[in-house]
A = this chain, B = another copy of it.
Amino acid sequence: MEIGLYLKKLRECRPLVQNITNFVVMNTTANALLAIGASPVMAHAVDELEDMINIADALVINIGTLDERWVDSMLRAVKIAKEYEKPVVLDPVGAGATRYRTSTALKILESGEIYILRGNYSEMKALIGEKSRTRGVDSAESGKDAKDIAMRASDIFNTVAAVTGKRDYVSDGNKIYGVDNGTPLLSRVTGTGCMVTSIMGAFSAIAPPLEATVSSLVIFGIAAEMAENEAPYPGSFHVKLYDWLYRIDGVLVEKKKRVMKIEP
């Protein structure tokens, strides 16, 4: 997979990524998109969804701080994106923690064609109907069946599915990739999962879904590793993470990537 070339293409195209996301990470995901070389926009008003999605190259939906009005916007946005043939990336933040989040994520999954679905182990497990112990929006929980969860989610929801954790698993229903880039320090900064989902939105504009997902996870993971080398504490690490999303290039990707194709 030519991750470096996708990165180059992203920076040439500078895709406009429309985000309907949560209040906690609006700033950080916008900054992650700018750092990597994309262009973010945040709009949730029903009155402007169509105009905005029309000019956008991809749509990212993140349910981290939802309520009925925002859910309404999300559902409409997914429908409009389908009409305009724009890829949609979904981050089901907190699915399994509350029934409202699980059911909202499922509604979005059913309402349109989702290009990429990314969640942590317990969120993804909740979506495919297994009991999970999502504790808030973070989850230290992970399991040996993460690979299976990715495959089954891909199958059930007819999308590329990523289950992120110590090792990330990405499946399009046929192929499976494992990504080992990253660092546990990411869990000490809020919204790092949301950031990588947003970056998947940017790559969606210029790559097929499996490639967009794996590229995002590898690049974000390497940027995190480089950031941690410079700054092993969460505040400084967070700052350096943006620096490295900006600095990373194809050479660094080739040198540091830890990705493998796995037999299903």
Contacts and interface: CB of A to CB of B under 8 A. Distances in A.
Contacts of A242: 233-236, 238
Interface string A125-158: 0000000000111100000000000000000000
A27 B55 CA distance: 27
Interface string A242-256: 111011000000000
A31 interface: yes
Interface stretch (A33-41, A78-86, A174-182): A33-41
B188 A35 contact: yes
A94 interface: yes
A214 to B, nearest CB: 24
Interface stretch (A98-106, A111-119, A165-173, A202-210): A98-106
A166 to B, nearest CB: 17
Contacts of A239: 235-236, 238-239
A64 interface: yes
A260 interface: no
A16 B234 contact: no
A12 interface: no
Contact of A99 (B35, B51, B66, B235): B51
